Amino acid sequence: MHLRMDPLSALFLCILVPQMLAAALSGMRGSVVLWLFCASLALTLLAATPFTLVFGLGLAGTAAWLLMLRLERKAAAPYIGVALFSVACLIPAMFLPPGGLAFVLVLLGTGAMAGLAALPQGASVALSGGLMNVSVYVLIRYGFIAFGAATQPWWGLVLIIAGAACVLPGALGAILEVDMSAVLASTSLAQLGLTLVALGIALRAVAMHNPALAALALQAALLGTLAHALFRPMLIIGAGAVRHATGTNSLDWLGGLLRGMPRVGMLMLGAAAGMASLPLGPGFAPEFLLLHAVIAAAGTGAIFARIGFVALLAALGFSAALAVGAMVRLIGLGFLGRPRSLRAAAAEDTGGGTLAAMALLGVLCIPLALLPGVVLGALVPVIQLLAPQADPLPLAYAPLSLALLMALCGGGALLALRRFAVRGTREVVAWNGGFGRPPVWLPFGDPTTQPSATGFAEPVARAFGGWHPANAGGGLARLRRLRVRLSHAARRIPLPSPLALMLAALALCLLVLILGQGS
């Protein structure tokens, strides 16, 4: 096996390390399989030959399956099947001549592996973050570097269409799902779609010899991958802490958690601000750059391409609004208001490793939120490796100045309130948003006076004709049924068999390499 490190692999190693540290701190540091999974991901990122990369990716899929056997045995079956499918796509892709067929096979293999991170049962930080990031790395490595000379504009269009197909269903699912894990899985799908859109614009710009647009889109893709790799694990760890404290992740049974779990609640609030791409959050600068890249791409190509990019801009704006609504729903119904169950009322703040993991990721989010221009400056070698003619422009957004201005305004308002405000309380009617004094026979208040997660999403569901991820129609329903059938079929396979199949696939990879080199 041959290893090497370049700016791209170094960037993704920097992304991988805090995720694995957070997974270890949150309660998995004693798992040998976790460290095997980390080693296999590092091997994939440092691979200098196709065989080493495929071997590392296959080993990562096997370790992910073993981890899921420990976390949730019934949900482990898809992992080994998807790992086999990814290896089966990547082996021929890496030995075919650079071209459209090889690129499509790489896209299928990496897309299948990244899709595992968007499964609702993927509650492990290591699994969800590691698999998605290494899949994006392989796609970038082969799309921009290995196949660089053969790049065609339609490759970028395929990525843009695939990304748009992920963004809207993911954003809708995030605001319609009731289970917190399902909400986070849907947001991950939407974030993956944004990354694919940015990479597609960059790949199309490289093929059309437009280095300025390629640099702008790569800034959005890389900065978005880095930010998402930090604040999404915070939400996953926080959801696990909520489940441990209350026994459920259903937003309809939570509420009032900020009183019993203030530290977890505040960290979750910061991560939700990043997921919603709010200004002064770690997710705003990538969204800012991506929208500017779409606007710039709308001025290139033929008339149909320009119309398509305008429609894409509208779709991204709509999905951004849905993301804000989903995070308001997650925090407002889960952590604010009045508890909707005894377990939610009795929830206590967690401590130790869980808080340390969330705090570590939160601290790393601060430079992305307040100093994104500095982070983009550190990404210049990576962008120039992927697009050699590109000259990235500085970020035209100064969040640190805005943060200081808001701090001055907030401090002045607080001083004015303390000086001139009138202290005291007042009674309000019970229908005042469900926050009135509860009657003695209903200690948590009347549930009908508080908005529920289902009721919050009802206007959006009605606007789409009753659309819901659970009963979606058309092609989405068929894909959902196919995934369920494949999962049921995989669960019938005896446990030793998938591991034997994985080893056989890796042996086949070695055989192909030997025959390809004429040894």
Cα–Cα distance between 501 and 498 in angstroms, integer?
A: 5
Q: Which two tokens stand for residue 158?
A: 């395929």
Residue 479: band (very low, low, confident or very high) from pLDDT cuts 50, 70, 90: very low
Residue 215: band (very low, low, confident or very high) from pLDDT cuts 50, 70, 90: very high
Residue 473: band (very low, low, confident or very high) from pLDDT cuts 50, 70, 90: very low
Q: What is the pLDDT of residue 519?
A: 46
Residue 226: band (very low, low, confident or very high) from pLDDT cuts 50, 70, 90: very high
Q: What is the pLDDT of residue 169?
A: 84
Residue 415: band (very low, low, confident or very high) from pLDDT cuts 50, 70, 90: very high
If one compares 376 and 447, the residue with the highest pLDDT of the two is 376
Give the pLDDT mean for 68-87.
74
Residue 8: band (very low, low, confident or very high) from pLDDT cuts 50, 70, 90: very high
CB burial of 202-232 (b: ≥16 within 10 Å; e: otherwise) equals bbbbbbbebbebbbbbbbbbbbbbbbbbbbb
- Mind listing the pLDDT tens digit for each residue in 10-28? 999 999 998 888 888 887 7
Q: What is the pLDDT of residue 468?
A: 53
Q: Which two tokens stand for residue 519?
A: 């040894």
Among 31-35, 300-304, 367-371, 408-412, the range with the most confident prediction by mean pLDDT is 408-412
Closest CA to 227 of 197, 271, 268, 185: 271
Residue 205 near residue 116, CB atoms below 8 Å:
no
Lowest mean pLDDT: which of 126-130, 133-137, 510-514?
Answer: 510-514
Residue 382: band (very low, low, confident or very high) from pLDDT cuts 50, 70, 90: very high
Residues 6+ apart with CB under 8 A from 366: none
Angle at CA 22, nearest 5°, toward 21 and 24?
65
- Mind listing the pLDDT tens digit for each residue in 283-296? 899 999 999 999 99
- The answer to whether residue 440 scores a pLDDT higher than 70 is no
Quote the mean pLDDT of the chain. 81
Residue 476: band (very low, low, confident or very high) from pLDDT cuts 50, 70, 90: very low
Residue 249 near residue 308, CB atoms below 8 Å:
no
- The answer to whether residue 495 scores a pLDDT higher than 90 is no
Cα–Cα distance between 382 and 199 in angstroms, integer?
A: 14
Give the pLDDT mean for 114-143.
75
- The answer to whether residue 472 scores a pLDDT higher than 50 is no
Reduced to 3 states (helix: H, G, I; strand: E, B; else coil), residue 330 is helix
- The answer to whether residue 413 scores a pLDDT higher than 90 is yes
Q: What is the pLDDT of residue 272?
A: 92
Cα first-last separation, the chain? 16
Q: Which two tokens stand for residue 216?
A: 């702008």
177: left (phi over 0), alpha (psi -120 to 50) or beta: beta
Lowest mean pLDDT: which of 125-134, 160-169, 194-203, 320-329?
Answer: 125-134
Q: Taking each helix axis from N to C terminus, what angle separates 453-463 and 153-176, rounded to the nearest 10 degrees?
A: 130
Residue 201 near residue 297, CB atoms below 8 Å:
yes
Residues 6+ apart with CB under 8 A from 17: none
Cα–Cα distance between 332 and 111 in angstroms, integer?
A: 33
Rounded to the nearest angstrom, the gap between the alpha carbon of residue 117 and the centroid of all alpha carbons in its chain is 8
Residue 330 near residue 274, CB atoms below 8 Å:
no
Give the pLDDT mean for 367-387.
90
If one compares 472 and 273, the residue with the highest pLDDT of the two is 273
Cα–Cα distance between 284 and 273 in angstroms, integer?
A: 9
Residue 461 near residue 467, CB atoms below 8 Å:
yes
If one compares 348 and 496, the residue with the highest pLDDT of the two is 348
Give the pLDDT mean for 491-511.
55
Cα–Cα distance between 24 and 450 in angstroms, integer?
A: 38
- The answer to whether residue 461 scores a pLDDT higher than 90 is no
Q: Which two tokens stand for residue 422?
A: 């009138």
Q: What is the pLDDT of residue 475?
A: 43
Lowest mean pLDDT: which of 397-406, 437-446, 498-507?
Answer: 498-507
Reduced to 3 states (helix: H, G, I; strand: E, B; else coil), residue 47 is strand
Q: What is the pLDDT of residue 10?
A: 92
Lowest mean pLDDT: which of 38-52, 318-332, 411-425?
Answer: 411-425
Cα–Cα distance between 303 and 496 in angstroms, integer?
A: 55
Closest CA to 198 of 93, 65, 289, 317: 289
Cα distances (angstroms) measured from residue 320 to each of 116, 277, 507: 23, 8, 45
Q: Which two tokens stand for residue 54?
A: 């495929």
- Mind listing the pLDDT tens digit for each residue in 162-197? 999 888 888 888 888 888 888 888 888 888 899 999
Residue 490: band (very low, low, confident or very high) from pLDDT cuts 50, 70, 90: very low
Give the pLDDT mean for 206-226.
91
- Mind listing the pLDDT tens digit for each residue in 248-281? 888 888 888 888 889 999 999 999 998 998 888 8
Which residue do the tokens 């049974």 mark?
Answer: 253
